[in-house]
Amino acid sequence: MPAQPEGNSTRSCTFFMLSADFVRQFPGKSLPFFQEIRDDYTTEEPLVEVALDYADVVKGTHIETTLAVSHRWMQPDDPDPDGEQLKALKGFLNSPAGKKIERVWIDSACMPQDHPKGSRSAEDAAAFKRMLKEVNRLYLGTTVLILLDMSYVSRFWTQFESWLSMQFATPSGLKSAVGTKNERHHIVCIQNAAAQAESFTKLLVDQWAKKTPDEAHAFLSKPDVTVTNQGDKDGQLPKIKALDATVQGAFGDISRSLEDELAASEAVAARARAELAAWEAENDAKAGEKNRLKVAARQAASAVAAARLAKEEHARAISSSVDPAMMKRAEAASAEDSLSMSDVPELVLHLSGGGDKRKEQAAAALAKLARNADNRVAIAKAGGIAPLVALARGGTDGYRRSMPRGRSGFSLSTTTTRWRSQRRSASSALRAPPRRSPSSSTAAGAARPRFASSSAARRSRRCSSRVSASACSRKQTATRMLAPRRPTSKATTKRLGKITVSDSRRTAPRGSFLRR
């Protein structure tokens, strides 16, 4: 009997993840356990909740921004006693390969642990089991950092994770990603393996790169592949054989969803055209460009074009054997390479007076150029600040149409992510690293206040409770952009000429899953 898929690809599992910047800046020797981060690091709010379904996995939605760490626990009660793993993780996050990572998943810091034994609450235990059951989604749908030591190759979990990291999903099942554009794993040798990094890396890749799900199942079933909890192994082995059917089902669900979206858009567009034609016939006149029905027909036609393009892009990515999200990133990178500072005046012009689509494209292009600090100054001198602020405050009709209704909290579903990323595209163009004054009394590693000053706190309190949290953040962002802060030292005085925009991304409230 063939293996059955796990279920509907739209069924998501929510994982806790760490902010990558929290990890980059963490001053300690090793990361604390999940409960300590949740309970003690309340000011930084480093934990976010991410909903991950198989549709996201097969599309590669989170590969560019999310990192899952595959590592071995060095001791039963301490995965990283000497800090070597955190050192390697920080090194990767600060490297060119890790600079775009925004979230990090590592089991000890992102799942409730039972150390000391018996200390984990019933609710924490239930959350742990729920996430552990679906952990394969992380290693199949994100960038993976393998921290390879000499004993890594003898453990069940680590070998299972490394095999998943070397695969990518296709409509016909899993295929090897090694040596293709879909490759997304990175190996860093640590401990004694670092002395023979090349040979250990080759051994691991040769072991797992080409194995099919059936071959992986047969290998991991052997008794010499050890695991601390045999129940974990027994629970995961059946899923390995089912993975081909699972990803095939996910691709089928995506194709049907795209077809349904296109059909629905075409039906709306047909109704809009009919209503416009009826109005023109009744009034014996052509509708003006600002006519309500003419605007609705134009917007409906744009929605049809977008749905058709999404369907075509998905089909093109599949025919090219590339993850859809990876194909889009490659195209965006190519477009970015062709940009130069000589394009800034034209982009600012589009941002000020172009249509909605032009404004969105211009803001995204400026965001790419603004990754360099000197470019940010040039964009400000070219008059790009005011239109960027206006776009950040009010968005465009396209932004508002895609805004989800009745949702709250942190979510990475496709629709929500699209709207939030569009909404932030203008403000991200001028984003700069947070300033730190040498005269600050905050010690390294101490909890930072949520607001930089009491005036910022008062601004936050003045935001009406009837205004959504994201609108409140945009209001504060615009205020900070238009009013430079008072210098607190010589070091900060030198930087007042640079206008910065704070990152207004929301994180999950501390311990929110316990309050549901």
The pLDDT assigned to 468 comes to 43
* 215 CB-near residues (< 8 Å, 6+ apart): none
> Residues 288, 240: one domain?
no
Same-domain check for residues 71 and 99:
yes
Query: Pairing state of beta strands 13-19 and 103-105?
Result: antiparallel
3-state helix, strand, coil in the chain (%, to 5): 55, 10, 35
Look at residues 323, 358, 383 and tell me which one is the last residue of a structural domain.
323
Q: Cis ω on the peptide bond leading into residue 27 (within 30° of 0)?
A: no
Pair 385, 312 in one domain: no
Query: What does the pLDDT look like over 222-253, one tens digit per residue?
Result: 999 999 889 999 999 999 989 999 998 988 88
Say how far apart CA 481 and CA 504 lie, in whole Å.
Answer: 13
How far is the CA of 355 from the CAs of 99, 121, 294, 350, 413, in angstroms? 32, 54, 16, 8, 27
- Structural domain contains residue 334: no
Q: Which residue do the tokens 């930072």 mark?
A: 448
Within-domain flag for 176: yes
What would the pLDDT profile of 465-495 be if each residue is shown by its tens digit? 334 444 444 445 444 444 444 444 433 333 3
Is residue 286 domain-shared with residue 413, that is, in the same domain? Answer: no
Q: How many CB atoms lie within 10 A of CB 42?
A: 14
Task: Give me the phi and psi of 86, to 5 degrees please.
Answer: -65, -40
Please indicate, yes or no, whether residues 153 and 184 belong to a single structural domain of this protein. yes
Answer yes or no: is 200 within a domain. Answer: yes
Q: Which one of 179, 214, 247 terminates a domain?
A: 247
Residue 327 CA to residue 312 CA, distance in Å, equals 12
- The range of the structural domain enclosing residue 417 comes to 343-432+468-480+499-506
The residue with tokens 């500072």 is 341
Name the helix (H) or strand (E) containing 213.
Answer: helix 213-220
Indicate whether 169 and 269 sit together in one domain: no
Q: Specify the DSSP class assigned to residue 30.
A: S
Q: Residue 218 domain-assigned?
A: yes
63 & 96 share domain? yes
Distance CA 110, CA 14 (A): 11
**Which position has the token pair 């990803």?**
247
Domain count, the chain: 3
Output the CA–CA distances (angstroms, integers) from residue 374 to 157, 234, 370, 491, 497, in the order listed.
45, 55, 8, 18, 12
Amino acid at 120: R
Residue of 507, 454, 502, 449 whose CA lies nearest to 479: 502
What are φ and ψ of residue 217, in 5° steps? -60, -45
Three-class HEC string of 36-89: HHHHHCCCCCCEEEEEECHHHHHHCCCCCCEEEEECCCCECCECCCCCHHHHHH
One domain, residues 131 and 213:
yes
Provide DSSP, 174-194: EEE-TTSTT--EEEEE-GGGG
CA distance 378 to 345: 10
Write out pLDDT tens, residues 43-94: 888 999 999 999 999 989 999 999 999 999 999 999 999 999 999 999 999 9
Sites in the chain below the pLDDT cut of 70: 1-10, 320-342, 352-357, 368, 371-374, 392-516
Give pLDDT, residue 336.
52
Side-chain-side CA neighbours of 318 within 13 Å: the count stands at: 18
Which of 225, 247, 269 represents a domain boundary (last residue)?
A: 247
- Statement to judge: residues 182 and 74 lie in one domain: yes
Could you tell me if 253 and 9 are in contact, meaning their C-beta atoms sit under 8 angstroms apart? Answer: yes
User: Does residue 460 lie within any of the structural domains?
Assistant: no
Output the CA–CA distances (angstroms, integers) from residue 491 to 69, 418, 437, 449, in the order listed: 37, 38, 7, 20
Q: Give domain status of residue 213, yes or no.
A: yes
Q: Are residues 94 and 67 in the same domain?
A: yes
Q: Which among 145, 139, 189, 201 is positioned nearest to 165, based on CA atoms?
A: 139
State whether 238 and 266 are in the same domain.
Answer: no
Q: Is 366 within 8 Å of 375 (Cβ atoms)? A: no
Residues 220, 280, single domain; the answer is no
Classify the C-alpha dihedral 410-411-416-417 as positive or negative.
positive
3-state secondary structure 300-329: HHHHHHHHHHHHHHHHHHHHCCCCHHHHHH
Position 7 in a domain: no
